[in-house]
Amino acid sequence: MKKYLMLLVVALFFTAANAIDKGEWTGFITDDKCGVKGNNKGHSACAKDCVKNGAKIVFVSGDKVYAIKDTKKVESFVGEEVTITGSITNGVLEITKLVKK
């Protein structure tokens, strides 16, 4: 019985570690080629060029880079600083609200 209880605790721990993180984050819509280096206003032209040439659109907040579930929502914000409300599951950001800074 103790074995099953321990397995349940371990399973709950891993589930909690990958759980949805809901909140609000401020950062930059940029490209996956430059990643964290794109976390500033001076990177705007480079980010737009990289995305135009096939790089994926990502969101960078601090030193974290997040994939975006629906990049169509942010295509017009590449290179811009934004505040995003949404949820992050396994490193993928789902946006419910986006405001340009």
Interval 46-78: pLDDT, tens: 999 999 999 999 999 999 999 999 999 999 999
Q: What are the structure tokens assigned to 65, written together?
A: 């880079």
**Cα separation, 47 vs 29, whole angstroms:** 8
Assign 5 to helix, strand or coil. Answer: helix
23: left (phi over 0), alpha (psi -120 to 50) or beta: left
**Cα separation, 93 vs 81, whole angstroms:** 16
pTM recorded for the entire structure: 0.80
Place of tokens 């099953």: 4
Q: What are phi and psi of 88, to 5 degrees?
A: -120, 125
Residues 6+ apart with CB under 8 A from 7: none
Give the mean pLDDT of 30-54.
95
